[in-house]
Amino acid sequence: MIWNEKIETMNLEDLKEVQSKRLKSMLDYIYNNSTFYKNKFDKEGINIEDIKSIDDITKLPFTTKEDMRDNYPFGIFSNKSKLAEIHVSSGTTGNPTLVGYTKDDIGLWSDVMARTLGCAGAKPGDVIQIAYGYGLFTGGLGFHYGALEMGLTIIPCSAGMTKRQLKIMEDFKPRILACTPSYAMYMSEDAKDMGMDPRKSSWEIGIFGAEPWSESMRTQIENTWNILATDVYGLSEIIGPGVAQECTNKEGLHVFSDVFYPEIINPTTGQPVKEGEDGELVFTTFTKKAIPVLRYRTRDIVSMTNKQCKCGRTSPRISKIKGRTDDMIVVRGINVFPSQIEHVLVNIEGTTPHYQLVVDRSSKNLDTLEIHVEVEQKIFSDEIKKLTQFENKIQDEIESMLGVSVKVKLLEPRSIERSIGKAVRVIDKRNI
Ligand code: DLL
């Protein structure tokens, strides 16, 4: 169903007018409420009066993840006094990325998430099993707000406790499953262990995202669970889930561009690319109040089309995420940067800066992360017990930093292949 028919099927000219109007009031708001943006505009000699329409957006500066991190915790907020909720995005070195919402922002989130659910094929009265993590991660609560808004019956399972998830599915018969795609596959193994036939599950629709997944993974999930598997995209800095969602045609993700304005740029030059070409996805939030962001560089690589979709929605569609401009990987829903591992290693005496992250997917469809690290020769001359202690120490420190379990493998000096260009830090064997 189309949740917000008026806005989602608006003709492109009217949509452009809405976007232009909203951009101007957003600029006015951030200039007057955000010290960060006021300073930035004043420094760069930007007069917001010069921005007449959405086409002028390219004259404005970008915002980056570093801006958010450098101004941690509240420096980039525009309305700290009216904060209703905060969330934290995983996966950064040092300070995490803190994001916040006013009560009105939660209203906006509820609306875009209701649109997301409608886009995937949900309708009021459906039962949804939310198996994204609740807590500081935006997945669980984002889906929760949207489902409340649409009038679904919510089973707020959060992630994990797989056998219980499966029992709940069997007993309460939810029609919709929301979780990461890798968790959907992981659950099928436990289902088989429990003697269940996954093809007979009550789930008809899956809303899967928060990590990259391929078309072949989609086919695998659809065949295993006998389900329609749709892709949901979002990021904490913009709102969380609720930025873009595939409709049941599965031909690209509809961006809710009346509230989150997308641009695709060449990541090196910062200039817009031609329609259909790959580039970095950039978003401007028009109506968010706690942390509005202007031209936020997501580092996600996609292409975008303005061609109208069969479903009747008029907003642009992005492709599945094709990669990143940085070296971030997503392991079991957690964003991991090699630099985080490096940060831990350099502070442990006896390790060297030669390391690699080896990501794989186990036979149970669970992501595994192994850290291969070269250590000084003298460590290897120590007795086995000491070596194991050393390995455990590194493992503990990395785990507490990342919040994801890892295995550490110590290597003799010079065993990791050297590269003449950029070091190869990540070996991803997951085939996604
Ligand atoms: O992952 C928000 C979310 C929750 C999206 C639940 C979908 C479902 P972050 O933790 O801030 O937010 O991570 C954002 O994850 O920049 C992408 O690199 C990656 N990502 C998110 N969705 C997808 C997807 C949430 N469908 C980062 N496909 C983003 C590929 C995705 N990558």
> Residues with Cβ < 8 Å from 269, sequence gap 6 or more?
none
Residue 262, token pair as written in the block:
């997308």
CATH number of 1-326: 3.40.50.12780
Quick check: pTM over 0.85?
yes
Share of the chain above pLDDT 70, in %: 97
The kind and range of the H/E element at 143 are: helix 138-150
Other Cβ atoms closer than 10 A to 151: 12
Secondary structure letter of residue 424 according to DSSP: -
Distance (Å) from CA 240 to ligand 1 centroid? 8
Cα 5 to averaged position of ligand 1 atoms, centre (Å):
26
Order of strands across the sheet that contains 176-179:
153-155, 127-130, 176-179, 205-209, 228-235, 240-246, 253-255, 317-318, 304-305
> How is the chain split into domains, by residue range?
1-326, 329-428
Ligand 1: nearest atom to the Cα of 321? 30
Query: What does the alpha-carbon distance between residue 91 and residue 328 come to, in Å, rounded to a whole number?
Result: 8
Task: Give the Cα separation of 25 and 257 in Å (integer).
Answer: 16
Residue 10 Cα, ligand 1 centroid: separation in angstroms?
27
What value does the mean pLDDT of the chain take?
93
Residues 278, 264: Cα–Cα separation, whole Å: 8
Instruction: Tell me: pLDDT of 347 over 60.
Output: yes
End-to-end CA distance of the chain: 30
Q: Whose CA is nearest to atom 4 of ligand 1?
A: 139
Q: Are 351 and 345 in contact (CB under 8 A)?
A: yes
CA 183–ligand 1 middle distance (angstroms)? 14
The percent of residues above 90 in pLDDT, for the chain, comes to 76
The model's pLDDT over 40-62, given as tens digits with 9 standing for 90+, comes to 999 999 999 999 999 999 999 99
Instruction: Give every CB contact of residue 29 below 8 A, 6+ residues apart in sequence.
Output: 78, 289, 292
Q: How far apart are CA 57 and CA 51, in angstroms?
A: 7
Which of the listed residues 101, 115, 300, 331 should we mutate to test ligand 1's pocket, taking the one with most ligand atoms within 8 A of CB? 300
149 Cβ contact partners less than 8 Å away, ≥ 6 residues apart: 110, 111, 113, 114
Which residue has a Cα nearest atom 18 of ligand 1?
300
Cβ burial of 88 (10 Å; 0-12, 13-18, 19+) is middle
Ligand 1 centre distance from Cα of residue 182 (Å): 13
pLDDT at 370: 97
Q: Locate the ligand 1 atom nearest the alpha carbon of residue 253 and give its number.
A: 26
pLDDT bin (cut points 50, 70, 90) of residue 365 is confident
State the distance from the centre of ligand 1 to the C-alpha of 70, rounded, in angstroms.
22
List all residues whose CB is within 6 A of at least one atom of ligand 1. 89-90, 132, 138-139, 209-212, 231-236, 240-241, 298, 300, 321, 324, 330, 335
Residue 167: per-residue pLDDT: 97
DSSP string across 170-219 = HHH--SEEEE-HHHHHHHHHHHHHTT--GGG-S--EEEEESS---HHHHH
Q: Which fold has domain 329-428?
A: GMP Synthetase; Chain A, domain 3 (3.30.300)
pLDDT value at position 419? Answer: 67
